[in-house]
A and B are shown apart, each in its own frame.
Chain A
Amino acid sequence: MGILDKKYHDSNIIIVNLESALNWARKNSLWYEQFGLACCAIEMMATAASRYDFDRFGIIPRSSPRQADVMIVAGTVTMKMASRIERLYEQMSEPRYVISMGSCSNCGGPYWEHGYHVLKGVDKVIPVDIYVPGCPPRPEALLEGFIKLQEKITGETIIEKEEGSSSELEEVSQAKTA
């Protein structure tokens, strides 16, 4: 938005579109739920640590789903874990986002056919906003996933849609093209 790098001498009033102010604030304070399921969690930790540093995007871990904006499903979702993930997702307050990190949570990954115990994609139980491919994805890939999510949030609108117009996902894509 480029308002913060300007200097103001006379007045401290900034005139800005409410929607973009809200979106700007939300996209720069994405708190993610701190929870890892498998080896992807190690990459997630590496992304949060000093070399890649999530913090510079305002992305910080929270230990409670009630304080989190985004859930990173980092790892293999077993059938046993899937119902717990569903419950954790329901505990998050809206607006909430889900990043599916790595092949396992995207589509079952190496357990795609003969893994009786693995859910073939976390999108079978909760809606996913961003899919990050990789096994496991490198920290750069996860960061790009977050940047894509920020782009998605930038395009969101608080204007009420006409009834029966479209689903949440379509709204976003409409807002992007508009």
Chain B
Amino acid sequence: MKQPEEIFEYLKQKFGEDSIGFEAPEVGQPWIEVDASAVKDVMKFLRDDKELRFDVLMCLSGVHYPDEEAVGVTYHINSTQLKHSLALKAKAPIDNPFIQSVESVWKTANWHEREAWDMVGIKFKEHPNHKRILCAEDWEGHPLRKDYVQQEFYNGMPTGDN
């Protein structure tokens, strides 16, 4: 069992400080910030390394950061064998919202990443089935963005109270 600080130190030896960072807020869980282009390598290492063995992706959530003009993904992972868990974050600018897919690492990510695309508009590189999961395929916009404007009509049906 390892604490997040220890895991970060361990990862730093492997990946260096360029692609990962560590943040510990006063309140809440600390997390490891991962560069969007290094996500897949880092996650694969977290899953396969003998001292980490993160075998479960508990949750993958899309986030919109309007102040930073960025979108991001938060990963919560857990090791059922070594009984430790970890939070990681990756960010990408809103006009170029590409983050590597972790579908090849944990299959759970498949639907979660589709949801993050549907709701927040994050694009996942190398995702095998990159389409909307909840909204209709021809829906306009991504509803959980803070600046989302709802379309007035969908297929001729009003979406509002009018």
Q: Does A116 contact B (CB under 8 A)?
A: yes
Interface size class of A (residues with CB under 8 A): 10 to 19
- Given known A-B contacts A79-B136, A80-B135, A80-B136, A117 and B157 have beta carbons under 8 A apart: no
- CA separation between A79 and B161, bound complex, in Å? 13
With contact pairs A79-B136, A80-B135, A117-B143 given, residues A108 and B150 touching in the complex (Cβ less than 8 Å): no
Determine the chain A residues whose CB is within 8 A of the CB of B154 once the complex forms. Answer: 79
The residues of B with any CB-CB pair to A shorter than 8 Å are 134-136, 139, 143, 148, 150, 154-155, 157-161
Instruction: Assess the A83–B155 pair: CB atoms within 8 A.
Output: yes
Interface of A is mostly: loop
Q: How far is the CA of A178 from the CA of B139 in the complex (A)?
A: 49
Highest count of chain B CB atoms <10 Å: which of A79, A82, A112, A119: A79
Determine if A176 is an interface residue (Cβ-Cβ < 8 Å): no
Contact A112 B161 (CB under 8 A): yes
Residues of chain A touching chain B, judged by Cβ–Cβ distance below 8 Å, are 79-80, 82-83, 108, 112-113, 116-117, 119-120, 124-125
How long is the Cα–Cα vector from A117 to B157 in the complex, in angstroms? 11
Complex Cα spacing A67 to B152, Å = 35
A175 vs B158: C-alpha distance in the bound complex, in angstroms?
33
Q: Do residues A116 and B157 form an inter-chain contact, with CB atoms below 8 A?
A: no
16 A-B pairs whose Cβ atoms sit less than 8 Å apart in the complex: A79-B135, A79-B139, A79-B154, A79-B155, A79-B157, A79-B159, A80-B135, A80-B136, A82-B155, A83-B155, A113-B161, A116-B150, A117-B135, A120-B160, A120-B161, A124-B158
